[in-house]
Amino acid sequence: MNTFDVYPLFDIEITKGNLCNTYDKQGNEYLDLYGGHAVISIGHSHPYFVEKMQKQLKELIFYSNSVINPLQTELAKKLGDISGYDDYSLFLVNSGAEANENALKLASFYNNRSKVISFCKAFHGRTSAAVRVTDNPNIIAPINSAMEVEYIKLNDFEAVSLALNKNDVAAVIIEGIQGVGGVQIPSADFLKHLRNECTKTNTVLILDEIQSGYGRSGKFFAHQYTNVRPDIITTAKGMGNGFPIGGVLISPMFKPVYGMLGTTFGGNHFACTAAIAVLDVIKNENLIENAANVGKYLINELKSIPEIKEVRGKGLMIGLEFDYAVKDLRKKLLFEQKVFTGASGTNIIRLLPPLCLSKQQADLFLEKLKMCL
């Protein structure tokens, strides 16, 4: 059997990782400015993470959600403390799409409505409701298309008021910072406007922090540059530093009912161990502060490079927009300079390195980038 060929691949086989570096099977070292799609938060094979996982592997990997799992309680407590959402509840899943799927479902259960407002260029995943609220017709199959969705331009205040004032919208879903859309940032005033309009119309406000969360922006969640508190927050990617886990943070206004949500694998012992280790390291190594500081330095330095048309971002979530397609530039960075980067559309390079990126590594990247321009 062959694998289903849906991914265009670079001819590179990565066999090892060490914090912000990866190594291919020939032993070449790569600087990882992409973290495998923002997944590597505390660093590849971080020793604390490896030790915790090895210990748990020998004890128990999985038992179902029909028995007490103290690791879920520990994770919820630590996540509540570090995020400032200790009064919210946590529902654990396995991926970002699944987190958004459950968030949208909860919203619809709550106000008994079914229409959703999303934003132009949004990406929320590839399962049925999550892909339907994603602004990319190429990945929405006919089977997904029945749900009613309106896409609004980011930061369009009037369009939001107009869309919500009929009191028929179940939820507004918005990324803390749009990732796949090219690092587009909703303004603080726009998020406040959304909050007010959602409250006024009994619409559920969902913040998708799957890419922008977990310290990446220099705050635990990107929306925390404002004082807006969403009704639901979704997380995944950096949550497990490579081990699949996602979460839905749910405000106290939602009352749980046995059976309303569920999953076989979500919240299993091994996944919780990964997520707890990530939060321990983020806290002990001040990685949110590091992302803020190194990110600020990197963004400033990038802004002084004349070939880059625009630099956008917060912390270590950075978009570099060029006047031309970046495909060749990314290839040069990867094959000549041994640097992993990401792309958005044709003209944007996305940087999403592990949160432990040092200033020296940022300088090394700048040097390598300049050599390719």
Ligand X SMILES: Cc1ncc(COP(=O)(O)O)c(C=O)c1O
Binding region for ligand X (CB under 6 A):
37, 95-97, 100, 123-125, 175, 179-180, 208, 210-211, 236
Angle between the N-to-C axes of helices 269-284 and 287-303, in degrees from 0 to 180, rounded to the nearest 10? 70
Nearer to ligand X, 125 or 313 (CB): 125
| Whole-number Å distance between alpha carbons of 144 and 339 | 37
Nearer to ligand X, 124 or 338 (CB): 124
Distances from the Cα of 167 to the Cα of 162, 172, 283, angstroms: 10, 12, 41
Q: How far is the CB of 48 from ligand X (least distance, A)?
A: 24
Q: How far is the CB of 116 from ligand X (least distance, A)?
A: 14
Nearer to ligand X, 98 or 369 (CB): 98
Nearer to ligand X, 194 or 369 (CB): 194
Q: How far is the CB of 360 from ligand X (least distance, A)?
A: 28
Nearer to ligand X, 43 or 179 (CB): 179
Q: How far is the CB of 49 from ligand X (least distance, A)?
A: 19
Question: What HEC string does the chain produce?
Answer: CCCCCCCCCCCCCEEEEEECEEEECCCCEEEECCHHHHCCCCCECCHHHHHHHHHHHHHCCCCCCCCCCHHHHHHHHHHHHHHCCCCCEEEEECCHHHHHHHHHHHHHHHHCCCEEEEECCCCCCCCHHHHHCCCCHHHCCHHHCCCCEEEECCCCHHHHHHHHCCCCEEEEEEECCECCCCCECCCHHHHHHHHHHHHHHCCEEEEECCCCCCCCCCCCCHHHHCCCCCCEEEECHHHHCCCCCEEEEECCCCCCCCCCCCCCCCCCHHHHHHHHHHHHHHHHCCHHHHHHHHHHHHHHHHHCCCCCCEEEEECCEEEEECCCCCHHHHHHHHHCCCEECEEECCCEEEECCCCCCCHHHHHHHHHHHHHHC
Nearer to ligand X, 72 or 118 (CB): 118
Nearer to ligand X, 32 or 208 (CB): 208
Q: How far is the CB of 237 from ligand X (least distance, A)?
A: 6
- Which residue has the CB atom at the shortest distance from ligand X? 96
Q: How far is the CB of 32 from ligand X (least distance, A)?
A: 17
Nearer to ligand X, 133 or 362 (CB): 133
Amino acid at site 185: I
Q: Which two tokens stand for residue 272?
A: 């919780």
Q: How far is the CB of 353 from ligand X (least distance, A)?
A: 16
| Cβ neighbours around 191 below 10 Å, total | 23
Nearer to ligand X, 210 or 357 (CB): 210
